[in-house]
Amino acid sequence: MSTTNEVGGPGRLTVHDDAQQMIERARAEGIETVWDRLHAQEPQCGYCQLGLSCRNCAMGPCRIDPFGEGPQKGVCGADADTIVARNLGRTIAAGSSSHSDHGRDVLEVFAEVAHGGASGYRINDEAKLRRIADELGIATEGRSTTEVAVDLADELVANYGSAKGSLSFVSRVPAIRREKWAGLSITPRGIDRENVEMMHRTHMGVDNDYVNLLLHALRTSLADGWGGSMIATELSDIMFGTPKPVISEVNLGVLKTDQVNIAMHGHNPLLSDVIVAAAQEPELVELAKSYGASGINIVGLCCTGNEMLMRKGVHMAGNHLMQELVLVTGALEAMVVDYQCIMPSVVDVAKCYHTKVISTSDKAKFPGATHVSFDPHRGAEIARDIVRMAVEAYPSRNQSRVRIPVHPVRMMGGFSVEAILGALGGTPQPLIDAIVAGTIRGAVAVVGCNNPKLPQDLEHIELTRTLIENDILVLVTGCAAVANGKAGQMMPESAALAGPGLRSVCEALGIPPVLHMGSCVDNSRIMQLAAALANALGVDIDSLPLAGAAPEWYSEKAVAIGAYVVASGITTVLGVQPSIFGSSNVVNLLAGGLDGVVGAKFAVEPDPYKAALLIRRHIEAKRQGLGLSHTAPELITANESGGEPVHVNARS
């Protein structure tokens, strides 16, 4: 194995052994990967990086000269502030649409199940169905499951249109925050309405006021965070089960040399749930055996993987930047994809092996892949067909090309809000007590993707470890969760990595210091938990010692998440610079002025130790605001030679 650290070497691209080995192999075999394509794109367009280019109409495309020497206005007269704010608004609309459309797909199947249709699906967690119905004011007493489910489906369908004045789950938000949103006219209404309005406002000649544009961008993101994403999470729990703590395994070592390997990639649990069931059917297992395999091994990638891991403990092959490298093992019979974060390049890499790429969503077709149109009415039957296709590819596998590089690492997942409250004895009070006592200083959501511009997972792992060393509980979702799992930071025994306060709490509860709360849409769980803590304390969310971080984000969805987290009152640190630096007004608003309006703001800090220091200081300031013990953290130094950071645990 090489860990070559020369510029461009695998050791500079990723911190993980499995990824490094597969990058070397891809290079040896002439297979192009994401890092090669990034290199081919460099230098990337400076105007676009600053958010200063616009192609919203056919009088353009236009660009603003950031040095003040060239044009300062587009053909229509739009200036840098308008163009940057419009671009950011469209990014947030795209990200919000992605998660919320995922939520709509889940909702449509839920509605079918409620009406007795959709093969292979059922109400799995009836108690949660009734609890949510109660919460939303739907009568449950003396009514059948079907009756309640039909009413809940109707209630949530109405969240997508424009008829409602506000979204159903906004009732979870502390009243003081709801008043704040109302005062700013950013209370989220119908999800479709906010997204359509965002696209309308960013058309040429509509909204040219960057503040007005950005406020609507926040409203659009809130429609996702407290609407589309929350609906996706809650209904997925009702249909597929509310996660409970579960042990799983992670990295490319979860592939099996002697089994049919199927990787489920994308985001929506509708498909993966029925595939997992089909892979256990005796007829298909026997078929696999008839071809010489010992069984069928389903593994996850990205957030479909997180959905399966959280609910069923299904093993996880990797996060975003592993999607090409998993193919380079030569051990995959099929990569089955739905939508979001699936690089078109997987089709090209798969062609170098016997692997079939099977696309399943009519919304997401991949030229060169085999398309099997997924119809939830025939979900179980289609899942069987897909698994059969994978099994039938097994005889074409060239075993001499199979290279499974490492042994898997164990990780714990399954921390839904219900599971966290369960671990705490049914109420958030023990967590509040630990925060009040200072044993736990606060909590941080570390979320989001990989980005090939950064060494894969380095920022996730180092930021998370530095935070837990500082007695800060870390909640993870998406690719950040997988990164920490691979690094061995997500088992109960990982409490040994934490500072003494957090360690003692984790050991008492038998939980890791880094809690896996699910997929990207499941950031809604984090919002729900934050709101519950604020409600329990009788304060607004922005008073709590909380922060968010997206150290390696790449996706428009991540921007939408960051926006709704900030608009909900949680300051968020980004590790990758967003395309806004062409407008100092936009930057000053998002990184400063917003704090006085929603009680939270954005920061950009790519160095994980500096980000940890910034977050620790923020948390201590929030503690001070609540009258809790606080301390001024000393410097957490970034050691460029790779040594350990100096962490701080001094308490007042």
Amino acid 283 reads: E
Residue that is written with structure tokens 């595939």 in the block:
275
73-81, 108-116, 386-394, 491-499 -> range binding ligand SF4 (CB under 6 A): 73-81
d(C-alpha 177, C-alpha 183), whole Å: 10
CB 380 within 8 A of CB 357: no
- Closest distance of CB 266 from ligand MSK, Å: 8
Q: What is the longest distance spanned by two Cα atoms in the chain?
A: 73
**Per CB under 6 A, 71 contacts ligand SF4:** no
Among 38, 136, 196, 204, binds ligand SF4 (CB under 6 A): 204
Sheet holding 572-574, edge to edge: 514-518, 472-477, 442-446, 546-550, 572-574, 602-604
Nearer to ligand SF4, 83 or 447 (CB): 83
Nearer to ligand MSK, 550 or 566 (CB): 550
d(C-alpha 407, C-alpha 231), whole Å: 37
CB 32 within 8 A of CB 562: no
Sheet holding 370-371, edge to edge: 370-371, 356-359, 334-337, 260-265, 296-301, 316-318, 246-250, 409-413
d(C-alpha 356, C-alpha 255), whole Å: 16
**Per CB under 6 A, 200 contacts ligand SF4:** no
Nearer to ligand MSK, 250 or 532 (CB): 250
Residue partners of 134: CB distance under 8 A and separation at least 6 = 140
d(C-alpha 571, C-alpha 548), whole Å: 6
**Per CB under 6 A, 61 contacts ligand SF4:** yes
Nearer to ligand MSK, 319 or 494 (CB): 319
**Per CB under 6 A, 355 contacts ligand MSK:** no
Task: Say which entry of ligand MSK, ligand SF4, none residue 551 contacts (CB below 5 to 8 A, set by partner kind).
Answer: none
**Per CB under 6 A, 341 contacts ligand MSK:** yes
- Closest distance of CB 408 from ligand MSK, Å: 19
**Per CB under 6 A, 190 contacts ligand SF4:** no
- Closest distance of CB 319 from ligand MSK, Å: 6
CB 132 within 8 A of CB 234: yes
Among 62, 255, 314, 482, binds ligand SF4 (CB under 6 A): 62
Quick note: the x/- pattern for ligand MSK over 218-257, rule CB under 6 A, is ----------------------------------------
- Closest distance of CB 59 from ligand SF4, Å: 4
Interacting residues with ligand MSK between 319 and 338 (CB under 6 A) = 319-320
Among 15, 23, 78, 590, binds ligand SF4 (CB under 6 A): 78
Three-state helix/strand/coil letters over 84-120: HHHHHHHHHHHHHHHHHHHHHHHHHHHHHHHCCCCCC
Among 9, 32, 36, 76, binds ligand SF4 (CB under 6 A): 76
Tell me how crowded residue 122 is: count the other CB atoms within 10 A of its CB.
11
**Per CB under 6 A, 55 contacts ligand SF4:** yes
Interior angle at CA 40, CA 39 and CA 41, nearest 5: 90
Quick note: the x/- pattern for ligand MSK over 474-513, rule CB under 6 A, is ----xx----------------------------------
CB 463 within 8 A of CB 446: yes
Among 4, 9, 57, 453, binds ligand SF4 (CB under 6 A): 57
Task: Say which entry of ligand MSK, ligand SF4, none residue 76 contacts (CB below 5 to 8 A, set by partner kind).
Answer: ligand SF4
**Per CB under 6 A, 470 contacts ligand MSK:** no
Helices (H) and strands (E) counted in the chain, each on its own, are: 27, 16
**Per CB under 6 A, 582 contacts ligand MSK:** no
**Per CB under 6 A, 89 contacts ligand SF4:** no
- Closest distance of CB 481 from ligand MSK, Å: 8
Nearer to ligand MSK, 54 or 482 (CB): 482
Strands (E), 197-305: 246-250, 260-265, 296-301
The strand pair at 334-337 and 442-446 is best described as unpaired
Among 221, 226, 138, 326, which Cα is nearest to 590's?
Answer: 221
Task: Say which entry of ligand MSK, ligand SF4, none residue 422 contacts (CB below 5 to 8 A, set by partner kind).
Answer: none
- Closest distance of CB 265 from ligand MSK, Å: 9
**Per CB under 6 A, 555 contacts ligand MSK:** yes
d(C-alpha 633, C-alpha 629), whole Å: 13
Tell me how crowded residue 175 is: count the other CB atoms within 10 A of its CB.
11
Task: Say which entry of ligand SF4, ligand MSK, none residue 320 contacts (CB below 5 to 8 A, set by partner kind).
Answer: ligand MSK
CB 87 within 8 A of CB 556: no
185-193, 350-358, 501-509, 555-563 -> range binding ligand MSK (CB under 6 A): 555-563
- Closest distance of CB 242 from ligand MSK, Å: 20
**Per CB under 6 A, 557 contacts ligand MSK:** yes
**Per CB under 6 A, 520 contacts ligand MSK:** yes
Task: Say which entry of ligand SF4, ligand MSK, none residue 62 contacts (CB below 5 to 8 A, set by partner kind).
Answer: ligand SF4
* Residues 469-484: b if buried by 16+ CB within 10 A, e if exposed: bbbbbbbbbbbbbbbb
- Closest distance of CB 364 from ligand MSK, Å: 13
Residue partners of 69: CB distance under 8 A and separation at least 6 = none
Strands (E), 447-535: 472-477, 514-518
Give the total of residues touching ligand MSK (CB under 6 A). 15
Instruction: Please state the separation of Cα 106 from the chain's center in Å.
Output: 17
**Structural Rg of the chain based on CA atoms:** 24
Nearer to ligand SF4, 57 or 176 (CB): 57
Interacting residues with ligand MSK between 262 and 281 (CB under 6 A) = 267
Among 10, 51, 66, 74, binds ligand SF4 (CB under 6 A): 74
d(C-alpha 275, C-alpha 264), whole Å: 9
**Per CB under 6 A, 559 contacts ligand MSK:** no
**Per CB under 6 A, 75 contacts ligand SF4:** yes
Interacting residues with ligand MSK between 134 and 193 (CB under 6 A) = none
Please report, as ranges, the residues that interact with ligand SF4 according to CB under 6 A: 54-57, 59-62, 74-76, 78, 83, 204
Please report, as ranges, the residues that interact with ligand MSK according to CB under 6 A: 267, 302-303, 319-320, 341, 448-449, 478-479, 519-520, 555, 557-558
